[in-house]
Chains A and B, each alone.
Chain A
Amino acid sequence: MAESTMKPPKIAIDPVAWMRQNLFSSWYNSLLTVFVGYLVITSAGPLFTWLFFEATFLGDKPSDCSGTGACWLFISERLNFFIYGFFPQEHQWRVDFMFGLMALSFVPQFIERFPGRKWFGLFGLTGLPVVGYFMIPGGWFGLEVVESTKWGGLMLTLILAYIGIIASLPIGILLALGRRSEMPIIRGLCVVFIEVWRAVPLITVLFMASVMLPLFLPEGVNFEKLMRALIGITLWQSAYMAEVIRGGLQAIPRGQYEAADALGLGYWKKTGLIILPQALKMVIPGIVNTFISLFKDTTLVLIIGLFDILGTVQSTVTDPAWQNVAIEGYVFVAFCFWVFCFGISRYSQNLERKLDTGHKT
């Protein structure tokens, strides 16, 4: 028993040894270390100087900016526009309310011991879009109508991505199942749908939805541009989603199907209880990957004149009252996108760990 309590040999962790082992193990590694170190030091200095040390944070007009560092005043002055677009000031609390609900639904997912966090997540996936449907456009419970032409900024980006994500997952699952169906007509329809939508770029889909579709409808019959874009994005995304999920379905060993059949389960019970839970768990990285790429692809709505966060920034950086604020604007947009995409990614890793049942090698 004495051996089993013996501690493992202590590994030398003094900095010099660590550096010798990891940074200067051979002459070419040493050379690369020096070279990369030089690059980092020479570029990080000016970058941080521009971003923080010489940047202007306080003030309220273009002339307050130092001119040498970043002019963050431009962002803070226009922040309202970047977040809400043209949403009327007096109704912005409705959007804030939705932001709050969204945070309430998803932030607990990162906290391991949060009580009932599953229910918060479930609400985020089902109740949240319903509440949003009533809150944001208005017209119910005495809320004034705010037309979708006035939506914009971060709020519009989130709406587009959120609805695209929420709606494409179930449609994608159905399409994937349909493609593996033994009924030839259903299989044929699903194959055609997936191959057609997946073979066109999103920019074409959006352009068709915004420019061509109205020409086919009779004059006066119109549905909103945002609605057309949303339908286009959802259908396009569900074709991608279907293929990701089909990958998961194909990875399930035949034995699982046969075992389910042997238990006497019907098609839907077999799929819902045995196949899908395993398949979906397996393709979480793939699903999240498509979510993240959709989140970034929503910026393409710019070409059909919808003001997502990038659109609002792009339309204001040309303002002649501000001198060259384009870089600040784009850095801000990049930061916003990074925050959300990184959040989605962390959450998915969290989910993978939680659902891991030890089959991973």
Chain B
Amino acid sequence: MNNTKSIAIGTAMLCGVLAAPFASAATTLEAVKDKGHLQCGVTSGLPGFSQPDDEGNWTGIDVDTCRAVAAAIFGDGQAVEFTPLTAKERFTALQSGEIDMLSRNTTWTLTRDASLGLNFAGVNYYDGQGFLINKNLGVNDATELSGATICIQAGTTTELNLNDYFRAKGMEYKPVVFDTSEQSLQGFVSGRCDVLTSDRSQLAALRSKLADPSSAKILPNTISKEPLGPVVRQGDDQWFNIVKWVLSVQINAEELGVTSKNVDEMLKSDNPSIKRLLGEDGDMGAKLGLQHDFGYEILKHVGNYGEMYERNVGPNTPVGLDRGVNALWTDGGVLYAPPVR
């Protein structure tokens, strides 16, 4: 009996068994359809982006981005399960197939895009690092911050950005490092530091938690670019296209004035762009492997980009962020989606 041969056969059989479930789900879209729901990675609690509400339902702009994809596939914004992930775990969870897409406040950078086997499918929020400062200090610009004590969160890109910024300006600072944003806020409140630095969206949320929010202000300077958006695995272009175009449909819908409230009336619209968007004309859905009316489903269940923004982080929410650069290109922002045609 040839031992080597039998080991080889055994190994081959074992590999066959292990590879079987992997081979049967050829594309992410098919796998998601088989499962009956989308598995989406989100943060474990960031106001406005993804956070459980009183009933334990996930809410936030990152969460709505997932719901829009689920609506496009299943015609149901609730057909999605959320996996809360820490910053360290997020890419592994996506690479290993534990989740189908990652929508977790993740900054699009060259390194991440090119070396992790991932693709960024767009930007659902343009953020940037800023400074929160006590008004009493009378500082109006970040260039006056030389010698300041600054509260930072450990292990984030903000730490590196801050260092770059101060070095470039030839200024000094004393860092006070905390583990979570909650702790860094307490540090700021108790006077351990003069300035708190983080992404501007987070600063706004933290500021709203101060006993007297008007006592502190966010400086106008933005010292880094933080385009945040959904991420998918590399190598499945169809899935990449779906996630990318779901977001584009939401932005185009805002531009065309289609909302979740008027979408049923808009079905009768004569505007060819709206007709293509809602699937009344052309076969846009089929090209992506989706239903012809996937655009209608997204808008019906989640709404356009503007609605998603206003509901989660807009001026009327506790986070209270102005549209700023996240406005449409027609309103002076940078949101510009390729046309649906």
The chain A residues found within 8 Å of chain B, CB to CB, are 77-78, 80-81, 84-86, 89, 147, 149-150, 207, 210-212, 214-215, 217-222, 225, 302-305, 307, 311-312, 314-321, 323-324, 326
| 6 nearest CB pairs, A to B | A315-B45, A214-B96, A320-B318, A220-B22, A81-B56, A305-B84
Chain B nearest CB from A154 CB (Å) reads 13
Q: A222–B51 contact, CB under 8 A?
A: no
Is B182 close to A, CB under 8 A?
Answer: yes
Q: Report the Cα distance A225→B96, complex, angstroms.
A: 12
Which residues of A have CB within 8 Å of B46? 318
Counting residue pairs across A and B whose Cβ atoms lie within 8 Å, the total is 107
Which residues of A have CB within 8 Å of B83? 149, 225, 305
Which residues of B have CB within 8 Å of A317? 182
Which residues of A have CB within 8 Å of B186? 326
Q: B181–A318 contact, CB under 8 A?
A: yes
The chain B residues found within 8 Å of chain A, CB to CB, are 18-19, 21-22, 25, 44-48, 51-52, 54-56, 81-86, 88-89, 92-93, 95-98, 180-182, 186, 205, 208-209, 211, 317-319
A211 and B92 contact, Cβ closer than 8 Å, known pairs A305-B83, A318-B47: yes
A81 and B54 contact, Cβ closer than 8 Å, known pairs A305-B85, A314-B45: yes
Q: Name the CB-closest residue of B to A306.
A: B84
Q: Report the Cα distance A218→B96, complex, angstroms.
A: 8
- Name the one of A80, A207, A302, A318 contacting B56, with C-beta atoms under 8 angstroms: A80
Which residues of B have CB within 8 Å of A302? 44
Q: A218–B56 contact, CB under 8 A?
A: no
Q: Report the Cα distance A63→B190, complex, angstroms.
A: 24
Which residues of B have CB within 8 Å of A305? 44, 83-86, 89
- Name the one of A78, A304, A315 contacting B54, with C-beta atoms under 8 angstroms: A78
Q: B209–A320 contact, CB under 8 A?
A: yes
Most chain A CB atoms below 10 A, which of B55, B84, B317: B84
Q: Name the CB-closest residue of A to B21.
A: A220
Q: A320–B208 contact, CB under 8 A?
A: yes
Which residues of B have CB within 8 Å of A84? 56
A304 and B89 contact, Cβ closer than 8 Å, known pairs A217-B96, A222-B98, A318-B46: yes
Chain B nearest CB from A76 CB (Å) reads 11
